[in-house]
Structure 1
Amino acid sequence: MTKILNVENLEKSYDSGSKKLTILKDINFSVEAKETFAIVGPSGSGKTTLLGLCAGLDQPDSGVVELCGVQLNGLTEDERALLRNKKVGFIFQDFQLLPTLTALENVAVPLELQGDKHASKRALELLEKVGLKDRTHHYPSQLSGGEQQRVALARAFSNRPEILIADEPTGNLDADTGEKVVKLLFDLNKEEGTTLVIVTHDIELAQKTGHILKLKGGQIIENTKTAL
């Protein structure tokens, strides 16, 4: 299988006063194309830092990250941003929709930035798939939390990413709404043939994936494929 994300000997620390605080140590794992993969661990285990390094939002002290066949080490910030725009989709806990744009415009933005003339058509199709066909011209402030996350979901898939990274996608939603969003996420992911990486502290959500990586104190304590 093709590795879409490969991490080798990753280390990251920060200066905290006169001390050096180690956030991640000796991290090694890979994610195969079209795999569903969960990174789990308690708060402070290094999940968010690892996510930033895997997406090229930050750089490690040492080690290698290869994303979509490209080694991130040595790329400029602009080159890493370009790779993300073309190959990676993101879903965040706090939705991160642009408040001055409608649902349709929010979903179309990544495509418009790439000069896609069919951006609105693709955005409309995706909003229909997540059940928001009648909310296309509503602004984020006019949508519930669950609806906003469904818009974010549609946006994440808009540019047909090779890998989608979901950071605590149900963190701001009630259990029932969260369950519906997760079902949509997995259904869309399967339909689009995307690789899905979910960062979560929710073990039930993690168990819906085919591979679980557990972090504790900045180190991997478990790396197992599930019996899906």
Structure 2
Amino acid sequence: MTKILNVRNLKKSYSSGSRLLTVLHDMSFDVEEKETFAIVGPSGSGKTTLLGLCAGLDRADSGNIELCGTELSTLSEDERAILRNKKVGFVFQDFQLLPTLTALENVAVPLELQGAKNASEVGKDLLEKVGLGGRFDHYPSQLSGGEQQRVAVARAFSNRPSILFADEPTGNLDAETGEKIIELLFDLNRQAGTTLVIITHDPELAKMTQRTLRLKGGKIVEAHEQH
């Protein structure tokens, strides 16, 4: 199998006052193309920091990350942004929709920024897939939390990403709505053949993926495959 994400000897520290706080200690793992992969651990275990580094949103102190065949440390800020726009999708806990744009615009704008001519058609198609066919013109404030997260999922798949990072995608939703969002995420993922990396503290959600990496105190304490 081809590895879409390859992480080697990753370290990350932040200065907190006069102290240096190491958030990730010498971390190594890889994720294969089209795999579903969970990164689990308690709050403060380094999950979100790790996601930011893997997606090229932040730089590591040392170590290497290869994403979609490209070594991130060799890229400038702008080059990393171009790689993300082309290859990476995101779903966040707090939806991160633009409040002044309609559901359709939220999904289509990233495509328009890339110069796609059919952004609106792709946006409509994705919103229909996530069950929001009748809500194209609604603004985020007119949608429930679950509906907003559906828009966010549609937006994440709009650029046909090679890899999708979902950071606590059900964190702000009730259990029933959260289950529906996860089902949707896995369904769309299968259809699109995307690699899915989910950051979660929910062991039940982690069990749905093919492989799990467990973090504690910025270290990998366990890595296992689900059978």
TM-score bin, normalised by smaller chain: over 0.9
CA distance in 1, matches of 2:136, 2:196: 26
For the pair 1:6 / 2:10, whether they are aligned, the reply is no
CA distance in 2, matches of 1:2, 1:151: 30
5+ long unaligned stretches in structure 2? none
Q: CA deviation at 1:16?
A: 1.6
CA distance in 1, matches of 2:103, 2:109: 10
Between the two proteins, what is the percent identity of the paired residues?
A: 74
For the pair 1:191 / 2:191, whether they are aligned, the reply is yes
Q: Partner letter of residue 157 of structure 1? A: F
Q: CA deviation at 1:170?
A: 0.1
Partner of 2:62: 62
Q: CA deviation at 1:97?
A: 0.4
Q: CA deviation at 1:74?
A: 2.3
Partner of 1:52: 52
5+ long unaligned stretches in structure 1? none
CA distance in 2, matches of 1:36, 1:113: 28
Partner of 2:161: 161
Q: TM-score, normalised by structure 1?
A: 0.99
SS class of match (1:137): coil
Q: CA deviation at 1:202?
A: 0.6
Q: CA deviation at 1:186?
A: 0.2
Aligned residues: 227
Partner of 1:74: 74
CA distance in 1, matches of 2:220, 2:182: 25
Post-superposition CA distance 1:108-130 (Å, at most 9, x none): 01110111000000110100000
CA distance in 2, matches of 1:135, 1:127: 8
Q: Partner letter of residue 138 of structure 1? A: H
SS class of match (2:134): helix
Post-superposition CA distance 1:188-220 (Å, at most 9, x none): 000010000000111110110000000000000
Q: TM-score, normalised by structure 2?
A: 0.99
Partner of 2:111: 111
CA distance in 2, matches of 1:145, 1:32: 32
Q: Partner letter of residue 59 of structure 2? A: Q
Partner of 1:36: 36
CA distance in 2, matches of 1:28, 1:50: 11
Post-superposition CA distance 1:8-57 (Å, at most 9, x none): 00001111222211100010000000000000000010001101100111
CA distance in 2, matches of 1:44, 1:196: 22
Partner of 2:100: 100
CA distance in 1, matches of 2:109, 2:197: 22
Q: Partner letter of residue 181 of structure 1? A: I
Q: CA deviation at 1:91?
A: 0.2
